[in-house]
């Protein structure tokens, strides 16, 4: 089923929308939730909450890209669940590790409030990422958006874990320098 058809089902308040969403994007949403929480039951619950979130927000919202929109809902729900638990035992410390890695090149909460236009910040990151070679960009996104473990990324791209970690380290440093050049306070 096409995304536009699924979105229309939500707008028509047809319960088939949830089944169609689960069929097409269930595994995608589950992988996002699981990479954050490392718990099957919690990941499944977050995916179900994603369907509820989609149901509650359509209408009035009509997403341009359903997969990205569902991924964002899943990610936010999963990160909120992670914050509730916030122990190193759950998630094998992976989420905390990823967030710690980005601390040096992403503004703190106080500084984010000082950034007048949040979209400028998002656009700056997007410009940085799209200026990178596709493989590096994809590795960065897999690590910091999908929160994939370095070992999984290394395996997917046929490289050693140390090479993947080194590549991510260099990209974080480049991002930090790029954001500073753009005038974003860190």
Per-position DSSP letters for 44-67, written without gaps between them: HHHHHHHHHHHHHHTTT---SSHH
Q: Looking at residue 135, which CATH number applies to its domain?
A: 1.10.10
3-state helix, strand, coil in the chain (%, to 5): 75, 0, 25
- Tokens, residue 31: 């992988």
Distance, CA of 131 to CA of 31 (rounded, Å)? 27
pLDDT at position 92: 53
Exposure of 71 in the CB half-sphere (CA atoms within 13 A): 14
Domain count, the chain: 2
Range of the domain at 128: 103-181
> Can you tell me which residue has the tokens 């690590």?
143
Q: Are residues 8 and 88 in the same domain?
A: yes
Contacts of 183 (CB under 8 A, 6+ apart): none
pLDDT at position 172: 92
Domain membership of residue 186 (yes or no) is no
Q: Are residues 70 and 113 in the same domain?
A: no
- Tokens, residue 159: 């490289």
Contact between 43 and 78 (Cβ < 8 Å):
yes
Phi-psi region of 48 (alpha: psi -120 to 50; beta: other; left: phi over 0): alpha
**Length in residues, the chain:** 186
Contact between 46 and 84 (Cβ < 8 Å):
no
pLDDT at position 146: 83
Closest CA to 19 of 45, 64, 54: 54
Q: Are residues 118 and 75 in the same domain?
A: no
For 51, phi and psi rounded to 5 degrees? -60, -40
Domain membership of residue 143 (yes or no) is yes
Q: Are residues 54 and 73 in the same domain?
A: yes
pLDDT at position 8: 93
Tens-level pLDDT at each residue, the chain (186 residues):
899 999 999 999 999 999 999 999 999 999 999 988 888 999 999 999 999 999 999 988 899 889 989 999 999 999 888 887 765 444 455 666 666 676 666 655 554 444 444 667 778 888 999 999 999 999 998 898 888 889 999 999 999 999 999 999 999 999 989 988 887 766
Closest CA to 33 of 22, 46, 23: 46
């Amino acid at each position: 089923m096409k995304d536009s058809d699924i979105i229309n089902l939500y707008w028509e308040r047809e319960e088939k929308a949830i089944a169609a969403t689960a069929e097409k994007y269930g595994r995608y949403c589950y992988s996002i939730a699981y990479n954050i929480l490392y718990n099957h039951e919690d990941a499944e619950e977050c995916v179900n909450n994603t369907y509820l979130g989609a149901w509650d927000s359509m209408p009035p919202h009509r997403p341009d890209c359903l997969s990205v929109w569902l991924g964002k809902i899943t990610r936010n729900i999963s990160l909120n669940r992670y914050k509730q638990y916030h122990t190193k035992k759950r998630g094998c410390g992976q989420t905390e590790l990823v967030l710690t890695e980005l601390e040096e090149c992403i503004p703190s909460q106080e500084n984010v409030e000082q950034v007048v236009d949040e979209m400028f910040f998002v656009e700056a990151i997007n410009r940085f990422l799209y200026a990178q070679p596709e493989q590096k960009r994809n590795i960065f996104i897999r690590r910091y958006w999908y929160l994939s473990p370095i070992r999984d990324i290394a395996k997917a791209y046929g490289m050693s874990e140390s090479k993947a970690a080194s590549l991510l380290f260099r990209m974080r440093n480049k991002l930090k320098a790029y954001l500073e050049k753009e005038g974003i306070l860190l």
